Amino acid sequence: MTLSVRLAGGHRRLLASLMVGLVGFASSAVEAASLKIGMVSPPGHIWNQVSDRFNDNLEKASNGQYHIRMSSLAKLQGEPEMIAQLQTNNMQLAILTVGSLAGFEPAFTGWYMPYRFADVTAVAKATRNEDARNMLTSLNEHQMVGLGYALSGMRQVISVKPVQSVADFKDMKVRAFPAPVFQDWWKNLQATPVQLAISDVAPALAAGQLDAVDVDLDMAVGLQLYKQAPNLLFTNHMAFPGVMVASRKWWDGLSDADRKMVTKAFQEAESWGFQKQAEAEVANLAHLKAEGVNVVQPDLQGFQQVGDNIVKQYSTATPAIGHFITNVQ
């Protein structure tokens, strides 16, 4: 009888131990958070690389508590839907173009002002400017939190036929990013700006529906657009930053310690991305040349005159844009 009681007690202790272990495991599973992120860039793009770096930093800092995964629907939905999902916490993170955020804070359009930045290193430096940080803070009013910036390369032009000057763009059909300043830029060059999903650009070039594409070199190389448009005009006319944005509802639910951890994890990824993009500009240009792309360095005077007109137009309409670009130069 005594032996039987001891065995039962041992079983009870073993069962209790197993239950504690299972409860602890379940608790860890509940606490582990899979964070959805969206962006419009293709795989391999610098924004995707920055996201991966952010994820690695965050997983390490949180001992696996947080993991960032790409939203499978993000590219199909587009940026307006991503913003709506951020605002309702159906998506926790996104890298959004500054153009998509200009409706909330017009000063974001200042990043697109032609010929205000010499290269991506100058753009990276400008992200530390007080105005640039204030733009991020302004998103709080719109159920979003701006964590920082992710850069793409400077904007260039790839074309089916060689182009060398402003005059060559007259009546050309150019795929342009769907933001007003891009439309104004190409109309001032007497071209016809075409709004087209980036996934449809290569077929449109091949079918003769487009003559040229306003693009960064990351996209030109990543999507191999140079196979349909083997001419590169190195206009270097605009910067094209993105913003790492978090859902305000998700952010407000974090502890102070977790907010600091997330911020630190992205700050390292942000700085890493700036350096990586500066290196990519050199590597992408070398890749295009190795692929036989005809690279033309044009006389920029005519392009800069058009750019000055754009800057004047937007700075007059929105003084915050003028303030920003004056302070970053």
Q: At 232, which amino acid appears?
A: L
Phi and psi at residue 3, to the nearest 5°: -60, -40
* Residues 208, 264 share a domain: no
| pLDDT above 70: percentage of residues in the chain | 89
Phi and psi at residue 66, to the nearest 5°: -115, 140
pLDDT at 74 (0 to 100): 62
- Residue 223 is part of a domain; what is its CATH number? 3.40.190.10
* CA dist., res. 66 & res. 262, Å (int): 9
Question: Is the pLDDT confidence value at 118 over 50?
Answer: yes
Cβ–Cβ contacts within 10 Å for residue 279, how many?
10
pLDDT (average), residues 283-294: 97
Number of domains in the chain: 2
* Residues 57, 90 share a domain: yes
Question: Which DSSP symbol is given to 215?
Answer: E
The tens digit of pLDDT for each residue in 14-49 reads 444 444 444 443 333 345 689 999 998 888 899 999
Full domain range(s) for residue 204: 155-238+292-308
Q: Which of 210, 212, 232, 208 is nearest to 221 (CA)?
A: 232
Q: At 298, which amino acid appears?
A: P
pLDDT (average), residues 146-164: 97
Q: What is the pTM of this model?
A: 0.88
* CB within 8 Å of 319: residues ≥ 6 apart: none
DSSP β-ladder status, 241-247 and 93-97: antiparallel
* CA dist., res. 40 & res. 97, Å (int): 9
The tens digit of pLDDT for each residue in 63-96 reads 999 999 988 666 667 899 999 999 999 999 999 9
The answer to whether position 317 is within a domain reads no
Q: How confident is the model at residue 105 (pLDDT cuts 50, 70, 90)?
A: very high
Q: How are strands ordered across the β-sheet holding 294-296? A: 192-194, 173-175, 212-216, 155-159, 231-233, 294-296
